[in-house]
């Protein structure tokens, strides 16, 4: 409860009163299923033990005031004036959610919002969706809204798309709102059906280790757009609504219709969807250690077919595997960010040292290496 006390104290310092409540929502890591979301495919994220907290209180005068212990004070605004284009800076995330919920029919009152998050910003762990998830649940609770958690996740996505102006999918918000402790969220990005899949790694004496390379290669955004266009082109040539509708065998048979590069891009997406489904089956059968080869095959596919890895990510994967990881892959959009390794708990320290040594030998900036535990989604703390 320490962190809940701290955010409530900061709230009191700014407003002179106590909040109506404190809510939290987590960041996330994607276990497997990369670049499948915009192809109507499957993803398998889990919530991590890093969270955004918000202390929120209603105001009678219809004004919105936001503070962040990390980012400072945001300009004040009336609920009635909220609209895309009106808010900029970090408060576009929380106030974007308030706007999206108002658009969804929620009678939003004036609010004071104090934010405190330990999800690192821009590190690929989705600090934005954590913040959106916490605010969405807070507003829903304070207004006795009947919106489902999926609808709250969609409000977060809409905030980010229309108020922040970032064309993101809904995976991160779904993880932040729907995750359960000890489970991953198996999400069908076409139907938005989400199912909890057991991921109790500790029970199998395994741990999930994250290697943050602390690099972001500058061409990432342009390459992301190019990959999306390749996937759309492949679907068009193959005559399907999205690559989700193609099996690996069908793609093999369609050989000559696609140019070699587009074909490799499509092969990543098609085989990655198959790997997510296989991973879900293994986890449901309690065979956690056996997902290792799926993770490693996913990395090879992103490195060679989708071509979105980089030397730092490849080094993280090679070094953890050489030191005894069960499986490892880059996670996130690519060209930097984090790699995820499934490792025997007993070998954690040794593995961490091996990764650091490999980065030093390659002349890379020292990585941050830390464990993550599958935790629960957004919740009220008090
Ligand atoms: P990420 O991968 O971490 O989600 P984004 O660029 O999508 O990166 O979102 C990061 C943005 O979210 C920050 O620039 C800031 O505007 C907002 N944000 C995240 N955490 C906080 C916080 N603790 N306080 C205020 N704003 C935050
Ligand atoms: Mg984000």
What's the CA-to-centroid distance between 169 and ligand 2, angstroms? 10
Structure confidence at residue 176 (pLDDT)? 98
Tokens of 26: 């987590």
* Region 82-91 average pLDDT: 96
Q: Give the number of whichever ligand sits closest to the CA of residue 332.
A: 1
The two structure tokens encoding residue 93: 């995330």
Q: Let me know: does 379 contact 343? Beta carbons within 8 Å.
A: no
Ligand (nearest to CA of 131): 1
Which own/partner contact pairs does 200-206 have at CB distance under 8 Å and 24+ positions apart?
200/288, 200/374, 201/288, 201/342, 201/374, 202/345, 202/373, 203/288, 204/288, 204/289, 205/344, 205/345, 205/346, 206/288, 206/289, 206/326, 206/342, 206/343, 206/344, 206/345
Q: Which atom from ligand 1 is nearest to the alpha carbon of 172?
A: 4
Q: Considering every ligand atom, which ligand is closest to the CA of 221?
A: 1
Does the beta carbon of 71 lie inside 6 Å of ligand 1? yes
Predicted TM-score (pTM) of the model is 0.96
User: Whose CA is closest to atom 6 on ligand 1?
Assistant: 122
Ligand 1: atom nearest CA of 166 is 7
By CB atoms closer than 10 A (0-12, 13-18, 19+), residue 236 is exposed
**Mean residue pLDDT across the chain:** 97
Nearest ligand 1 atom, CA 116: 23
- Residue 90 Cβ < 6 Å to ligand 1: yes
pLDDT digits (tens, 9 = 90+) for 21-59: 999 999 999 999 999 999 999 999 999 999 999 999 999
Q: What are phi and psi of 264, to 5 degrees?
A: -70, -40
Per-residue pLDDT at 320 exceeds 90: yes
- 89 sits in the region (left: phi over 0; alpha: psi -120 to 50; else beta) called left
Cα 8 to ligand 1 centre (Å): 20
Average pLDDT for 60-83: 97
Query: DSSP 3-state assignment of 205?
Result: coil
DSSP symbol at 164: I
Nearest to 99 by CA among 157, 15, 17: 157
Q: Which is catalytic among the residues 172, 200, 252, 305?
A: 172
Which phi-psi region, left, alpha or beta, contains residue 82 (left: φ > 0; alpha: ψ -120 to 50)? beta
Residues contacting 142, CB < 8 A, separation 6+: 20, 21, 56, 58, 109, 111
Ligand 1 atom at shortest distance from the alpha carbon of 92: 16
Tell the residue nearest (CA) to atom 4 of ligand 1: 126
Cα 61 to ligand 2 centre (Å): 31
**Looking at residues 13-23, what average pLDDT do you find?**
98
Ligand 1 lined by 320 (C-beta under 6 Å): no
- In angstroms, the Cα distances linking 183 to 196, 201, 329 are 6, 9, 19
Give the CA distances from residue 364 to residues 139, 162, 329, in Å, rounded to whole numbers and listed in that order: 44, 37, 18
Report which secondary-structure segment, H or E, holds 8: helix 2-15
Q: Which atom of ligand 1 is nearest to the CA of 124?
A: 2
User: Over the stretch 158-204, which tens digit does the pLDDT of each residue have?
Assistant: 999 999 999 889 999 999 999 999 999 999 999 999 999 999 999 99
What is the C-alpha separation between 381 and 116, in angstroms, rounded? 13
Q: Which two structure tokens, joined as six digits, stand for 90?
A: 């970090």
What is the rounded average pLDDT of the residues 138-162?
A: 98
Say if CB 355 and CB 323 are below 8 A apart: yes
Q: Whose CA is nearest to atom 8 of ligand 1?
A: 122
User: In what side-by-side order are the strands of the sheet with 183-188?
Assistant: 42-43, 183-188, 194-198
DSSP for 190-204, written as a single string: TT--EEEEE--GGGG
- In the reported structure, the alpha carbon of residue 126 is separated from the centroid of ligand 2 by a whole-number distance in angstroms of 4
List C-alpha distances in Å: 308 to 235, 333, 334, 344, 354.
20, 8, 5, 27, 24
With a 6 Å cutoff on the Cβ, whether 87 touches ligand 1 is no
Ligand 1 within 6 A of CB of 115: yes
Per-residue pLDDT averaged across 374-382, rounded?
Answer: 98
Lookup: tokens for 56: 């929120």
Tell whether the model's pLDDT for residue 256 goes beyond 90: no
Q: What is the rounded distance in angstroms from the CA atom of residue 270 to the CA atom of residue 39? A: 9
285-313 per-residue burial string, b: 16 or more CB within 10 A, e: under 16: eeebbbbbebbbbbbebbbebbebbbebb
Task: Assess contact for 174 and 192: CB atoms under 8 A.
Answer: yes
Residue 15 has pLDDT above 90, yes or no: yes
Residue closest to 319 by CA, chosen among 354, 348, 370: 354
Q: What is the mean pLDDT of residues 287-298?
A: 98
Interval between CA 168 and ligand 1 midpoint (Å): 13
State in Å: Cα 322 to ligand 2 middle: 32
Local confidence band at 217 (pLDDT 50, 70, 90 cut-offs): confident
Atom of ligand 1 nearest to the CA of 121: 3
Which of 29, 43, 28, 32 shows the shortest CA–CA distance to 288? Answer: 32
Give me the domains of the chain, ranges plus CATH numbers.
Answer: 2-196+376-380 (3.30.230.10), 199-372 (3.30.70.890)
305 belongs to the catalytic site:
no
pLDDT > 90 fraction of the chain, expressed in percent and rounded = 95
Are the CB atoms for 133 and 147 separated by under 8 Å?
Answer: no
Task: Find the angle CA(351)-CA(354)-CA(360) to the nearest 5 degrees.
Answer: 145
- The answer, yes or no, to whether any atom of ligand 1 lies below 6 A from the CB of 337, is no
Q: State the pLDDT at residue 153.
A: 98
To test the ligand 1 pocket, which listed residue (131, 134, 159, 167) has its Cβ within 8 A of the most ligand atoms? 131
Whether 255 shows a pLDDT value over 90: the answer reads: no
């Amino acid at each position: 409860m320490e962190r809940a006390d701290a955010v409530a104290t900061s709230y009191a310092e700014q407003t002179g009163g106590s909040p109506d409540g404190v809510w939290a929502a987590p960041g996330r890591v994607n276990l497997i299923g990369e670049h499948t979301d915009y192809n109507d495919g499957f993803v398998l994220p889990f919530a991590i033990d890093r969270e955004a907290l918000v202390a929120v209180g209603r105001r009678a005068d219809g004004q919105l005031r936001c503070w962040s212990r990390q980012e400072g004070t945001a300009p004040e605004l009336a609920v009635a004036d909220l609209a895309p284009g009106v808010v900029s800076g970090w408060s576009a995330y929380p106030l974007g959610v308030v706007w999206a919920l108002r658009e969804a029919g929620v009678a939003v009152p004036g609010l004071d919002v104090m934010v405190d998050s330990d999800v690192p910003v821009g590190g690929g762990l989705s600090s934005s969706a954590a913040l959106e998830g916490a605010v969405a649940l807070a507003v829903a609770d304070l207004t006795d809204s009947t919106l489902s958690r999926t609808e709250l996740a969609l409000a977060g996505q809409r905030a980010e798309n229309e108020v922040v102006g970032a064309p993101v999918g809904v995976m991160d918000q779904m993880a932040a709102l729907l995750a359960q402790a000890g489970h991953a969220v198996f999400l069908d990005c076409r139907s938005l059906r989400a199912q909890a899949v057991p991921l109790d790694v500790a029970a199998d004496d395994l741990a999930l280790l994250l290697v943050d390379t602390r690099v972001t290669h500058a061409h990432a955004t342009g390459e992301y757009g190019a990959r999306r266009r390749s996937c759309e082109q492949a679907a068009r040539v193959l005559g399907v609504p999205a690559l989700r509708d193609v099996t690996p065998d069908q793609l093999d048979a369609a050989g000559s219709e696609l140019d070699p590069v587009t074909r490799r891009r499509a092969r990543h997406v098609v085989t990655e969807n198959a790997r997510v489904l296989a991973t879900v089956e293994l986890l449901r059968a309690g065979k956690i250690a056996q997902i290792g080869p799926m993770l490693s095959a996913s990395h090879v596919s992103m490195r060679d077919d989708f071509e979105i890895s980089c030397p730092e990510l490849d080094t993280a994967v090679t070094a953890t595997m050489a030191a005894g990881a069960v499986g490892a892959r880059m996670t996130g959009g690519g060209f930097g960010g984090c790699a995820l390794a499934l490792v025997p708990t007993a070998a954690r320290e040794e593995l961490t040292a091996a990764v650091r040594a490999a980065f030093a030998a390659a002349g890379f900036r020292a990585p941050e290496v830390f464990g993550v535990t599958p935790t629960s989604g957004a919740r009220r703390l008090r």
